[in-house]
Chains A and B, each alone.
Chain A
Amino acid sequence: MARRSFHLFVWSSVSLGLLILAASYLHITNGVFDMSVIDVAKTLLRINSNKEFDLVIFEFRLPRIVIAVLVGVGLGIAGVVLQGITRNGLADPGILGINAGAGAAVVIFMFFFQVRLIDSDMSSWLLIMMMPIFGFIGGTIAAALIFAFALRHGHLDMQRLILTGISINSGFGALSMYLSLKMNEKDFESAAVWMAGTIYNANWIFVIAMLPWLLILGFYIYKKAYLLDYFQLDEVNMTSLGIHVEKEKITLLLASVGLVSACVSVSGSIGFIGLMAPHIARQLVGIQHKYVMPISALIGAGLLILSDFIARTIFAPGELAVGIVVSIIGIPYFMYLLVKVKD
């Protein structure tokens, strides 16, 4: 039995790894400026490098793929945690309003510090490094509000949770909208595109800004993944086994809010990845979280690279925000889940 889950886990990891490689290949070779594999390989290996290829690969496409992987991994992990601790398969950072909270905080930050994400250069790197921190504050406020309103008699009421999420979402959305309308034209454009969820302005500073968050919180959460298996029981059982249910819930929640905030501050609000990835992962490897979590992370990464590839190429030379592509894939999946959960 345990061996069977492990086999499933290994096979899923390998196939997802290949899928991510294939998607990255498509992503890096296709676009307004088509390149052959050999060109890409030569550029990466520094053989006969030429300036144009260097620019396209190192400044545009590679950071974008790296960001897609990081954000996808972050959202995939956060989704597993949120669905686990709320015991609700429909929980997702986007639906619960954590994205919106982190987003509003980042918009406030952009508004006051006039950080333009599009033409960020090295001089603004300190500000960019601070964005995840702002995002974290906003995301934490959103999470605290969700808990304050959804907590009844010491346990999370699931219907209240979803309703609170919806209202927090629209509240923070309105705040972001209000502030962005007060911005000057150029900032507004930058903020509006960012809010729709985009990674087309990805650069290495973003990678450096979010990498520590992802590494530290990702490993922390992975070390606690086994606890999510126990969250599948009810709270009486957990307490009986000697688990500090509330304490674990809050630390796991904060860790995932941190992850989501880091993702939101570089990519804007990308919904549905945190919802879809854990579900697909469970269908692949079952219910043990030491397997579900890494698979969900890989699925998140794969989904985001593919979506970004579609966003970048479908209306080339124009671009769609990747958040929109993810939503187009995600909404039907969400409806499918709603129907399935009802049965």
Chain B
Amino acid sequence: MAIAFRIEDLIAGYEKSIIFEGLNAVIPEGKITTIIGPNGCGKSTLLKTIGRILKKERGEIYLLEQNMQNLSTKEIAKKMAILSQSPSAPSQLKVEELISYGRYPHRKNVNRLTKKDIEMIEWAMDVTKTTEYRNRELAQLSGGQRQRVWLAMALAQETDILLLDEPTTYLDMAHQIEVLNIVQELNELHGCTIVMVLHDINHAARYSHELIAMRQGEIIEHGSADEVITKEVLQNVFHINAKILHDEETNKPVCFTYDILKNEVSAL
């Protein structure tokens, strides 16, 4: 199977605080891989480091088997797009204009869109169902609509790999599923490789082919939902006592309910 990211002995962090040391992982191409873990476990840091938003201290990251160090940032931009947790843009900006920004790495003449540019923008709006408010300003959109517009901008970048940092935060339940359904469609119909960070382990289990569970800068478990969403792993990773059921419909494990571990309570 082709490999999207190969991470070798990665050391990274902010300023002087090292978040993880000697991290190794292989993320497959054409699959949805979700990183889960408690706050501060380094899941966002890992996503930002492989997305070259954060500079790594040491180690190697291979993007489609090419060392990222040897690729220019513009070449990388044609292979992967990153959507941050809370992206910002001027509120007067029109939806279609924002999405057209996604074409930047492909544009030669910055003042005119080519036919291909327009096709990709239309496609991105179509997939994310944002075509109907293409002429609205960002300020006029709801949270869910805005998130889909941002996703459309990332899609307009025409990359095979998408990195999404908590794409469902601040959204209500229906809008969360709406976004995740688009992500799934992108993977199934268009063969996109998705690497994302999610907080909700049930969403992670339902939508991902592979899960990476992290705690304190270490990967505790990396595998299918059935391998990762288990009582033992959740106990290790989240320090919770979880009740796991099996959802017949999705054929995926579901964390039905949970409690804080007994010895954790006394430690608090």
What residues of chain A have their CB less than 8 Å away from a CB belonging to chain B? 1, 153, 226, 229-230, 232-237, 239-244, 286-287, 290
Q: How far is the CB of B25 from chain A (nearest CB, A)?
A: 21
Interface SS majority for chain A: loop
Query: In the assembled complex, which residues on chain A have CB atoms less than 8 Å from the CB atom of B157?
Result: 240-241
* Cβ contact of B92, chosen from A233, A236, A243, A287, cutoff 8 A: A287
Interface residues on B, range: 35 or more
In the complex the two chains form, is B84's CB within 8 Å of A241's CB?
Answer: no
Given contacts A233-B88, A241-B101, A242-B77, 14 further A-B contacts (CB under 8 A): A1-B97, A232-B90, A233-B87, A236-B51, A236-B84, A239-B52, A239-B73, A240-B77, A240-B84, A242-B74, A242-B78, A242-B105, A287-B90, A290-B111
Query: In the assembled complex, which residues on chain B have CB atoms less than 8 Å from the CB atom of A226?
Result: 110-111
Query: In the assembled complex, which residues on chain B have CB atoms less than 8 Å from the CB atom of A240?
Result: 51, 53, 77, 80-84, 154, 157
Q: Considering only CB atoms, which chain B residue lies closest to A240 in the complex?
A: B82
Query: In the assembled complex, which residues on chain B have CB atoms less than 8 Å from the CB atom of A242?
Result: 72-78, 104-105
B170 within 8 A of A: no
B93 within 8 A of A: yes
In the complex the two chains form, is B84's CB within 8 Å of A234's CB?
Answer: yes
Q: Considering only CB atoms, which chain B residue lies closest to A241 in the complex?
A: B104
Q: Considering only CB atoms, which chain B residue lies closest to A233 in the complex?
A: B89
In the complex the two chains form, is A232's CB within 8 Å of B93's CB?
Answer: yes
Knowing A226-B111, A240-B82, the reply to whether A234 touches B73 (Cβ < 8 A) is no
In the complex the two chains form, is B101's CB within 8 Å of A230's CB?
Answer: yes
Q: Considering only CB atoms, which chain A residue lies closest to B75 in the complex?
A: A242
Query: In the assembled complex, which residues on chain A have CB atoms less than 8 Å from the CB atom of B94?
Result: 1
Q: How many A-B residue pairs have CB under 8 A?
A: 72
In the complex the two chains form, is B105's CB within 8 Å of A287's CB?
Answer: no
Alpha-carbon distance A240/B72, docked complex (angstroms) = 12
Alpha-carbon distance A166/B127, docked complex (angstroms) = 49
Q: Considering only CB atoms, which chain B residue lies closest to A153 in the complex?
A: B15
B135 within 8 A of A: yes
Query: In the assembled complex, which residues on chain A have CB atoms less than 8 Å from the CB atom of B96?
Result: 1
Contact with A along B141-159 (1 / 0, CB 8 A): 0000000000001100100
Q: Considering only CB atoms, which chain B residue lies closest to A2 in the complex?
A: B97
Q: Considering only CB atoms, which chain A residue lies closest to B165 in the complex?
A: A236
Query: In the assembled complex, which residues on chain B have CB atoms less than 8 Å from the CB atom of A244?
Result: 73
In the complex the two chains form, is A153's CB within 8 Å of B73's CB?
Answer: no
Knowing A232-B90, A236-B53, A236-B82, the reply to whether A241 touches B111 (Cβ < 8 A) is no
In the complex the two chains form, is B53's CB within 8 Å of A239's CB?
Answer: yes
In the complex the two chains form, is B101's CB within 8 Å of A233's CB?
Answer: yes
Q: Considering only CB atoms, which chain B residue lies closest to A229 in the complex?
A: B101
Q: Considering only CB atoms, which chain A residue lies closest to B15 in the complex?
A: A153
Query: In the assembled complex, which residues on chain B have CB atoms less than 8 Å from the CB atom of A232?
Result: 89-90, 93
Q: Give 25 CB contacts A-B under 8 Å.
A: A1-B96, A226-B110, A226-B111, A229-B101, A233-B87, A233-B88, A234-B88, A236-B48, A236-B84, A237-B82, A237-B87, A237-B101, A237-B153, A239-B51, A239-B73, A240-B80, A240-B84, A240-B157, A241-B101, A241-B102, A241-B157, A242-B73, A242-B75, A242-B77, A287-B93
Q: How far is the CB of B118 from chain A (nearest CB, A)?
A: 12
Alpha-carbon distance A243/B110, docked complex (angstroms) = 13
